[in-house]
Structure 1
Amino acid sequence: MSAKRYPAEVVSRARMYEVIRSPLITEKTTNGSEHSQVTFRVSMDATKPEIKQAIEGLFKVKVKAVNTVTVKGKTKVFRGRPGVRSDWKKAIVSLVDGHKIDVTTGL
Structure 2
Amino acid sequence: MDKVKYPVLTEKTIRLLERNQYSFDVDSRATKTEIKQWIQSFFNVKVIAMNSHRPPKKKKRVGPVLGYPVRYKRMIITLQSNYSIPLFLNK
> TM over 0.5, yes or no?
yes
Instruction: State the AA in 2 paired with 1:39.
Output: S
In structure 1, C-alpha distance between the alignment counterparts of 2:18 and 2:9, rounded to whole Å = 14
Larger-Rg structure: 1
| Matching of residues 40-51 of structure 1 within 5 Å | 40-51=24-35
2:69 is aligned with what amino acid?
Answer: R
What TM-score does the superposition give when structure 2 sets the normalisation length? Answer: 0.88
% same residue? 34
Assess if the C-alpha contact under 8 Å between 1:76 and 1:83 holds in 2. yes
From 68, 73, 76, the counterpart of 2:60 = 76
Asked if residue 67 in structure 1 is aligned to residue 33 in structure 2, the reply is: no
Superposition RMSD in Å = 1.5
Superposed structure 1 runs of 4+ greater than 3 Å apart? none
Cα distance, 1:28 vs structure 2: 0.9
- Which runs of 5 or more residues in structure 1 are unaligned? 1-16
Describe how 1:8-87 pairs up with structure 2 within 5 A. Answer: 17-87=1-71
SS for the counterpart of 1:55 is helix
Higher relative contact order (CA 8 A, sep 6+): 2
Q: TM-score, normalised by structure 1?
A: 0.76
Cα offset, 1:72, TM superposition: 3.4
